[in-house]
Chain A
């Protein structure tokens, strides 16, 4: 979660004054770094996954599950252990199953009840590496658990079902309504106490001029009142000016209302970062993976409960978008533009809006016609030598204000650092992120991060989705695939992915023919810019004129996730899994690896065709079948406790032999 250097964080009115300077310095740092790194070549494929956990404390006597705010203590304990390991005497030394593997890294997250873990070293594409991913994820979980209190467990639910309720859902307990978040549901102590996090939350709220606002449509069950008025909202609170928000209509009928960053940034995600061969390949992967974002979001859907209610959406995405939405009423289009520079259609956390690859297949029709760009910044980047596509991308990211500024950093511009650039870059939480190499590390190349997936309950699933995405990138590069659709359709797909059971019930825009047009052999190499020159005939190297392209609208269609993943029955789109299988048939894969990969691909194939349930569906069914559920959308403390216990069991048994969760992992009881 970005940079954690300490310093004096500016409050919003001060920070706002310095925003222009930070942007300007950030752009100079970007230019310096881009000049240095644009020629980086032949970097290997290295990749990493990030797993985020909720730390839950189980009170078996009271049958209660609570979020544990023990992040700091756990991280200190983990760090101490890592020191010991480095000195060669620690209990985490890698032996047995993990011999030769570096111990995992743990990181703080926004929520004080969260942990993030990454592998100790990045993965490669050697197929033996792919086999280690799942066991390494399990190892991470064991290591994390070993540093918790005996009744605490790391679980991988996207959100805690009763976060923000009036019970004592956190341990230790703090009452809500603090100065940073000003939430009527969660205390400031819910967030990581590092100055960066409360400042981030407070400055988003200040910039916005009111609290963030999350209204998630409630799932109307048979006994749910109509209209549903969120019974947990307190209209009589007078601690902070923002307590007026609800009296001004912030809480909508038929919605579950939430009012703090913690409801979004307290969610756990599964993010994958790839290192590209060079900048060109990174830009290509950024573009080609972008249309897959919403598809993978729907496939990994695991978020049907908020603040103790079943909701009518299946994924976390927009809730996070709303939880960090710092746009002012003017930017939102609710008030005429007077002080602000432009209307901004999306939150800082949203689907991406740019394509950046210098790919002849990128048609102008694919671009977002409503893209907001800071023209001065774009000009500065282009004057500095950057091409227009990439300059536009960064000039789009830099329409935002920096949110957390440390006054110490404003004394001198250091072009060998990237802190100001990262200030903007890492608070643009789009579903794809294009990452320049860090200026201080020569061994790291251009990278692309795929950010839309929801965390899955078991490490088997998390490994399956991580590896699936890695294999898709290899298929994209090997077959020169083309997934371009107008980027607005991807934005639309992102909304579609939110619908309850979108994975089976909804259709998504997707490109019909992903294959390159066959270029005659004689034209292939000249088109690739090869230095080869023929002495026999100059005509051979002149590519024949391509037939004119059809209308953009004929290139894509609405498809189900099953069509996209497994292929259309009419043979139009071949399917992501068949593409991956074709790739695997073209490389040497040993029997054991292929067997593992087959089980991963099988999970995804069956999620897409409905044989297996998503996490969201399983949770809905779990609640619906719970003896104490009253069909009123309420997910009680008792249900939450049982759900967490079931999740804990599923993590260990993975649905084997008819154990809990077989519906989403195995598809059959035996």
Chain B
């Protein structure tokens, strides 16, 4: 079963989804808090008496009342895509999307995942294209001190994200670029060596390399020079690389007693919710900024997870 989690517009959502503690560290607090607070808000709307003909709305452990089963999967919470996405004309905005491929998920699924994630964002914002897509491959850690990013095989569950698979994924993105869905492409956490290896394999060069810096004034000089030479803009971010681990997902969607959303069972075999293993597939973050005013009008996340009994089978 496919689960589609969404945060809705977190800019207007109050403190839970905005403030990170501590602030300078990279984290997934924004993602987790914004999902949680959107679940809560949707549950409250559903159970509020003014809204209610649905008698099931009383019981938050009954997911159908505020989530919606469709042929794509179970939307948590339900999304009404008929609501307008942006308040001004499309050309007023810079829309940036960052797609996180998660560790342990077969590369073969990425083509479909990319399409799924981008489609959701386009539908949510009511736009036909995005300006910049940054992809984050699992297992790459940028180290500002020596500019040799490591491949953390432990974090990627024994399946290191090898170079060929990145190139393969990139070709999928290039086709979206050709179709006019994405204007510019970007990568995250690439050091200069990896960039130099990567570029010859691309038709559409990345125009952005997004890096996380502990102290943002320490950027390896050869990366700066190389990026300048190749016209690649170095942007900053503070997302953590394993943005949605399995345990966090179960906590987030598990029983309400443990401050979850009351969708999943507390463990794969328990019967206090949907049974089976949960496997997060991807996370996408989107941001719509009004260009000449620097105002962030819409920002949010979608995440996809599978739940079921045969998840370990990855043919």
Contact = CB atoms under 8 A, between A and B. Distances in A.
Contact of B213 (A515, A522, A587, A591): A591
A581 B12 CA distance: 17
B94 interface: yes
A539 interface: yes
A520 B45 contact: yes
A477 interface: yes
Given A513-B15, A520-B41, A588-B96, A582 B20 contact: yes
Interface stretch (B275-283, B291-299, B307-315): B291-299
Contacts of A545: 50
B254 to A, nearest CB: 22
Given A582-B20, A588-B96, A517 B14 contact: yes
Contacts of B237: 585
Interface stretch (B80-88, B100-108, B148-156, B194-202): B80-88
Interface residues of A, number: 52
Nearest to A520: B45
Contact of A277 (B23, B51, B94, B293): B293
A588 B44 CA distance: 34
Interface in B91-134: 92, 94, 96, 132
Contacts of B292: 44-45, 124-125
A582 B48 contact: no
A146 interface: no
Contacts of A42: 88, 92
B80 A521 contact: yes
A582 B23 contact: yes
Contact of A587 (B19, B80, B211, B289): B289
Contacts, number: 136
B83 A591 contact: no
A536 B84 CA distance: 15
A525 interface: yes
A538 interface: no
Contacts of A592: 234
A519 interface: yes
Contacts of A528: 87
A267 B82 CA distance: 57
A442 B83 CA distance: 35
A590 interface: yes
Interface string A92-129: 00000000000000000000000000000000110000
A518 B12 contact: yes
Contacts of B216: 591, 594-595, 598
A539 B295 CA distance: 31
B95 to A, nearest CB: 11
B50 A544 contact: yes
B14 A591 contact: no
B266 interface: no
Interface string A552-578: 000000000000000000010010011
A319 to B, nearest CB: 36
Nearest to B6: A521
A545 B200 CA distance: 59
A45 B294 contact: yes
A524 B14 CA distance: 13
Interface string A521-546: 11011001010101010011010110
Given A516-B12, A521-B83, A598-B216, A586 B233 contact: no
A542 B45 CA distance: 12
Nearest to A528: B87
B13 interface: yes
A168 to B, nearest CB: 48
B61 interface: no
Interface string A579-609: 1011101111111101100110000000000
26 contacts: A42-B92, A124-B292, A125-B294, A480-B11, A515-B15, A520-B41, A520-B42, A520-B45, A522-B80, A524-B9, A524-B83, A532-B82, A532-B84, A574-B18, A581-B24, A583-B296, A586-B289, A587-B287, A587-B294, A589-B236, A590-B235, A591-B219, A591-B236, A594-B216, A594-B236, A599-B217
Given A478-B295, A586-B289, 12 more contacts: A44-B292, A125-B294, A479-B11, A517-B14, A521-B41, A544-B50, A585-B20, A585-B237, A587-B294, A591-B211, A591-B236, A599-B217
Interface of B: 8-9, 11-15, 18-21, 23-24, 30, 37, 41-42, 44-45, 48, 50-51, 80, 82-84, 87-88, 92, 94, 96, 132, 208, 211, 213, 216-217, 219, 224, 233-238, 287, 289, 292-297, 299
Interface of A: 42, 44-45, 124-125, 277, 474, 477-480, 513, 515-522, 524-525, 528, 530, 532, 534, 536, 539-540, 542, 544-545, 571, 574, 577-579, 581-583, 585-592, 594-595, 598-599
In order of increasing CB-CB distance, the 3 nearest A-B pairs are A125-B294, A44-B292, A478-B296
